A and B are shown apart, each in its own frame.
Chain A
């Protein structure tokens, strides 16, 4: 139970195509994350899976059954929203139990499930409070609890953490990871936060302008990106793209250099320039070097390093880790 398949799914608003043919198979129990730039259609795709937005063409299957024509409450899904979307007039208990009540479940079952979910999310003290009397983090836990009590085949999350402050975001992220381990349910999660994507996902789906650019585990995307877009999207600071000729590569258009694969030296590098900016993060140091032809190149070094802004350095590049891209931005893989 809990599989999801999208077959050539499309969506247009009027004559604007937002989702342009998406195929995806999600296995039972997988944690799938959609990432992509703002406006690429992540939320739209998620809402189509939920049944909140109808599908212009293509089929959506949940658990082997085509659900295109089914309303959201009959799809066996639960959704957590960025803005929590709790019912303001109901208590925490009321919020969590409304869905089951609507489905006509017996009172004892509802009580039992609310109690279990409340314990899991440490919400027991707050069951009789209204959403207005809770903090942001507590509200989001209630929203997650509301999803948990439905015991759905598929959990859908639309940027659930982006309204929380940084510390709370880390905590809630850990809670969601724990929840996934504990329940073992299939989860589809939308975010534009790379760290969330890399840390939570079994597989990441990179979307761009309504099409899937690549699907793979976090490390596959990092080590083996299919194209320039994915290479630039995964990894922080961003991969540097320079003219392939500048680093001595003839059979490609563009070379991709990850900041962490470059080191600074006084001589012997293919590129060189003046340091224009340094970011000290304690554990790592990000240095931006202004190279004449190649433009601004980011370098990421681990540990603390003292460099002067304005001083000249050469960039030593690990040749074996240069990514090659052709004129269309597609990756050229070296045959091993």
Chain B
């Protein structure tokens, strides 16, 4: 009896803490979204009020979509994020497999070297990267961003995935070898499905910084046709006047794609967790 009450109390406390955290975390997003639907005056007069018939206005969205090439920015962001993410997951998983599966000279040194990037922020190398991009003529291309983000995402991906892959039974891979599967098939058919939860984790942690980044788009690809959405939204923030309606609308729109991607991966995450629990 007492344990039942005890656990009820504990679960109420846990829920209270989690709900408080959720409210705090979501509040700024909520404020941005509601204000993006209000007229300029209403944003400043009562920023926390929900839009009503008087204050409701789509002017922000109209400006955002008309001004600049908003859809193009959107597309750029999506291309950069999706391609970088794919490359990070593909190369990260392959490198992790090689590190965890094969014995070769310098294996652990290589692992250490590849993981070093977790501790050293890639932005420290911005000047060198810029020089490199200028030399190769990649400035103001999406390729430049994709290359940089792939490099930025790989260390963590390799680190996490190789730890997970080390835990996969050798016998399973050996059974595949005896049945005549190629190393690629063993990687793709036996190992990848078993590290899916880890892949989803890596995907989420890789994707969000890429989508939100302002630094590299500003330095490597500030041209009109390669602007990403975060950079594109900056046009509404001026030195003297800031078009708040448009900024808020642009930011609200920018949340959507990353939310969709997150939902896709988080389903994988949860499936991975429950699969482990039921076994």
Contact = CB atoms under 8 A, between A and B. Distances in A.
Interface of A: 47, 50-52, 71-73, 77-79, 81-89, 98-99, 102-103, 132, 146
A84 B175 CA distance: 9
Given A71-B177, A71-B180, A83-B172, 17 more contacts: A72-B174, A72-B177, A72-B178, A73-B177, A73-B178, A73-B179, A73-B180, A78-B178, A81-B174, A83-B171, A85-B171, A86-B172, A86-B175, A87-B190, A102-B181, A132-B279, A146-B179
B193 interface: yes
Contacts of B171: 81-85
A102 B178 contact: no
B272 to A, nearest CB: 13
Contacts, number: 58
A79 B172 CA distance: 11
Interface string B7-29: 00000000000000000000000
11 contacts: A52-B177, A52-B178, A73-B178, A79-B174, A79-B178, A83-B169, A83-B171, A84-B171, A85-B175, A88-B193, A89-B193
Contacts of B180: 71-73, 99, 102-103
Contacts of A103: 180
A50 B193 contact: no
Interface of B: 169, 171-172, 174-181, 189-190, 193-194, 279
Nearest to B179: A99
Contacts of A82: 171
A132 B175 CA distance: 17
Contacts of A86: 172, 175
B178 A77 contact: yes
A98 B179 contact: yes
A211 to B, nearest CB: 24
B279 to A, nearest CB: 7
B175 A87 contact: yes
B181 to A, nearest CB: 6
Contact of B172 (A85, A98, A99, A102): A85
A146 B193 CA distance: 21
Contacts of A99: 178-180
4 tightest Cβ-Cβ pairs between the two chains A and B: A73-B180, A85-B171, A99-B179, A102-B180
Contacts of B172: 83, 85-87
A83 B167 CA distance: 13
B194 A88 contact: yes
Nearest to A89: B193
